[in-house]
């Protein structure tokens, strides 16, 4: 590198001094002075040339450095282990380095080649103009892309740079780690007592052996491990890869076991709670699996409940809940409920928003228990309950029920030892006044709907029987065992009886032996069927609206009928429910669903089935729930036509999947 780049400044100082001396010499001797000036001029010219020579040499040096750096940079960019692409807006390649060819297993593509020709999975249109990351796979290779726009002059077309990292090894390691995650399964014969009732010891052993053989074959086929922990209960381990396979087959073990029947023709059903290992401890893994088993049982059994990435999924749930012929649980719950009530100084009872007769009847039954203990009791009603106005007016006119009802939002000054009893519901956001769940710590839940993922937090007592026809039936059985001195009044019995009649469609749907026992108890207590019939009478406008709703229904292949009520009617929910019920009487119909407009931008859905299909599964997709035969949901902020289209799509897909599954089972697959 040239040195003394600033020598010209030093030379100028010397030349000025020398010029001054030459001028002084010229004053004393003109000849010597002239020679001095000539010599000075020669030295100045030589110094000027030397300085310019240094500048030229330095410039050549710098240019050499730049050329070397450019060569190094070009070499480094071309030889980077990361592919670099410059692409035009139309998706054609403008430039790339050599690594792209190595990633593609050949020479780099030529300029002008469309990126879609060698990476069809990479959609440039979705990322154009942004600066972010993108991942895709091609021919078994995984790529991670960083992309950003390049600065270009206004007259040039825009260009985008893509920095592509081949992360196949990391992706394979990540997938291997994912596939090796442990899944813990709690497996239970959910109808063990029912299928073993009346069986000989030999028949019991044969049933358990058949179930064990099916489970062993299924777990072994998935490469898992299983051990029995008690009669009808098992624990199993699978890895994530095997779990994905089981999920892809919709846990067909449920269908396989369901083909096993006892000597009375009752099929065996399984419930499975599953938890997938992530970052929790083994204790937490077991607790999660146990909680999912409880959830599956609470939804009626014959299904799998599992939690993956914080999202609960359900499989199965095709079998009807089997009615239990013993009331042991009802007696135990009644005694526990009495103890809880006795420790409370004030009791609030609440059902779901927009109460129906079953919800109201169950609340009246629980209020009867509270009054029998001499407790202050209030039933919390929502603002939308036009369907039960008649019976509410009757109760309010009776002096024995003074101050029984309180509107949602009007509850003030709750006692620390107060008790809240939730009936005919268990999902917090659909309750008449969800804020009470935070204000009253002691909560009891009594419901007959299949348990949802969203549940009231930390209840003291939960009584859910999905085999029961109604919440009113459950409360009636609790009344039978609550105490010897309890006597429901005529209005109490009539309210409970109306709830049973509504949910069983006048004892035609879901009514079992215990349902008729409960009805007989209520009749003896003074329930008036004539009064119940009068409560259900509809006016002329409602009758016309119901006929219009039935007339605009549309029939779809597979036994599906879907109708809509676009008008905002005062009793639209009742009309939709009655229309859905009525359409089940049409030959060939297996499922009927009505979509109706509610207040504001809320759209309601009322779904019914003959028992072949589980409409609760469909309604859960819309944030609702219910029973296998009766379910509903409410959707906010979506137009009615859009909700109807989604309902048709979901229902048809479910019917097609169910029919296909049944066909495979029939073929022995």
**Average pLDDT for residues 498-524, to the nearest whole number?**
88
Instruction: Read off the pLDDT of residues 564-579 as tens digits, 9 standing for 90 and up.
Output: 999 888 778 888 888 9
Alpha-carbon 296 to chain mean position: 16
Find out whether 298 and 321 touch, Cβ atoms under 8 Å. no
Which stretches within 552-625 are classed as H helix?
Answer: 572-583, 615-620
Give the model's pLDDT for residue 149.
Answer: 87
Q: Decide if pLDDT at 39 tops 70.
A: yes
Instruction: Calculate the CA dihedral of residues 77, 83, 84, 85 and round it to 10 degrees.
Output: 140
Q: What is the DSSP letter of 588?
A: T
> Rounded distance, CA 616 to CA 593, Å?
12
Which residues, listed in sequence order, are joined to residue 447 by a DSSP beta bridge? 464
Give the model's pLDDT for residue 668.
Answer: 47
Instruction: Read off the pLDDT of residues 42-91 as tens digits, 9 standing for 90 and up.
Output: 888 877 777 777 777 777 767 766 665 555 555 555 566 778 888 888 88
Instruction: Read off the pLDDT of residues 440-488 as tens digits, 9 standing for 90 and up.
Output: 989 999 998 878 778 898 888 889 888 888 999 999 999 998 987 888 9
Q: What is the reported pTM? A: 0.62
Give which of 470, 383, 386, 374 is closest to 425, Cα–Cα.
470
């Amino acid at each position: 590198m040239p040195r003394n780049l600033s020598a010209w400044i030093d030379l100028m100082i010397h030349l000025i001094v020398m010029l001054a001396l030459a001028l002084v010499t010229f004053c004393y001797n003109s000849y010597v002075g002239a020679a001095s000036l000539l010599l000075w001029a020669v030295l100045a010219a030589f110094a000027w040339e030397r300085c310019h020579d240094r500048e030229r040499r330095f410039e050549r040096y710098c240019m050499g450095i730049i050329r070397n750096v450019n060569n190094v940079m070009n070499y480094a960019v071309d030889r980077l282990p990361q592919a670099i692409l410059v692409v035009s807006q139309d998706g054609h390649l403008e430039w790339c380095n050599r690594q792209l060819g190595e990633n593609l297993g050949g020479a780099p593509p030529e300029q002008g080649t469309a990126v879609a020709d060698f990476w069809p999975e990479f959609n440039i249109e979705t990322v154009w103009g942004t600066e972010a990351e993108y991942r895709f796979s091609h021919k078994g290779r995984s790529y991670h892309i960083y992309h950003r726009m390049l600065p270009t002059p206004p007259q040039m077309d825009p260009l985008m740079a893509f920095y592509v990292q081949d992360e196949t090894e990391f992706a394979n390691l990540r997938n291997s780690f994912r596939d090796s995650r442990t899944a813990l399964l709690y497996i239970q014969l959910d109808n063990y007592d029912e299928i073993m009732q009346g069986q000989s010891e030999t028949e019991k052993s044969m049933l358990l052996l058949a179930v064990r053989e099916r489970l062993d074959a299924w777990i072994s086929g998935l490469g898992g491990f299983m051990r029995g922990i008690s009669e009808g209960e098992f624990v199993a381990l699978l890895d994530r890869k095997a779990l994905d396979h089981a999920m892809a087959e919709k846990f067909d073990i449920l269908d396989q076991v369901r083909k096993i029947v006892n000597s009375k023709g009752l099929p065996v059903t399984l419930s499975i709670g599953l938890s997938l290992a992530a970052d929790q401890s083994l204790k937490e893994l077991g607790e999660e699996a146990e909680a999912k088993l409880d959830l599956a049982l609470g939804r009626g059994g014959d299904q799998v409940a599992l939690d993956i990435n914080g999202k609960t999924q359900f499989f199965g749930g095709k079998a009807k809940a089997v009615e239990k012929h013993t009331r042991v649980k009802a007696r135990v719950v009644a005694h526990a409920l009495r103890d809880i009530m006795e420790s409370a100084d004030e009791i609030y009872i609440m059902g779901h928003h927009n109460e129906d007769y079953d919800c109201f009847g169950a609340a009246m039954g629980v209020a009867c228990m509270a009054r029998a203990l001499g407790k202050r009791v209030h039933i919390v009603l929502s603002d939308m309950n036009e369907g039960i106005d008649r019976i509410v007016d009757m109760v309010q006119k009776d002096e024995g029920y003074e101050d029984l009802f309180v509107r949602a939002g009007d509850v003030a000054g709750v006692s620390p030892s107060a008790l809240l009893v939730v009936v005919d519901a268990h999902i917090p956001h659909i309750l008449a006044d969800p804020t009470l769940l935070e204000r009253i710590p002691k909560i009891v839940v009594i419901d007959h709907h299949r348990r949802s993922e969203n549940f009231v937090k930390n209840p003291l007592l939960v009584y859910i029987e999905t085999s029961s026809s109604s919440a009113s039936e459950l409360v009636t059985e609790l009344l039978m065992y609550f105490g010897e001195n309890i006597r429901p009044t005529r209005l109490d019995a009539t309210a409970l009886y109306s709830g049973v009649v509504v949910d069983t469609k006048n004892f035609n749907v879901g009514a079992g032996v215990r349902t008729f026992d409960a009805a007989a108890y209520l009749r003896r207590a003074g329930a008036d069927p004539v009064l119940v019939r009068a409560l259900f009478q509809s006016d002329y406008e409602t009758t016309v609206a119901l006929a219009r709703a039935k007339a605009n229904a549309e029939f779809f292949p597979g036994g599906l009928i879907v109708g809509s009520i676009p008008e905002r009617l005062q009793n639209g929910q009742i009309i939709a429910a009655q229309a859905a019920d009525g359409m089940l009487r049409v030959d060939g119909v297996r499922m009927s669903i009505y979509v109706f407009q509610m207040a504001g931008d809320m759209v309601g859905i009322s779904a019914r089935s003959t028992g072949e299909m589980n409409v609760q599964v469909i309604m859960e997709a819309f944030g609702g729930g219910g029973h296998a035969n009766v379910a509903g949901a409410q959707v906010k902020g979506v137009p009615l036509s859009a909700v109807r289209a989604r309902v048709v799509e979901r229902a048809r897909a479910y019917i097609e999947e169910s029919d296909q599954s049944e066909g495979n089972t029939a073929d022995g697959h």
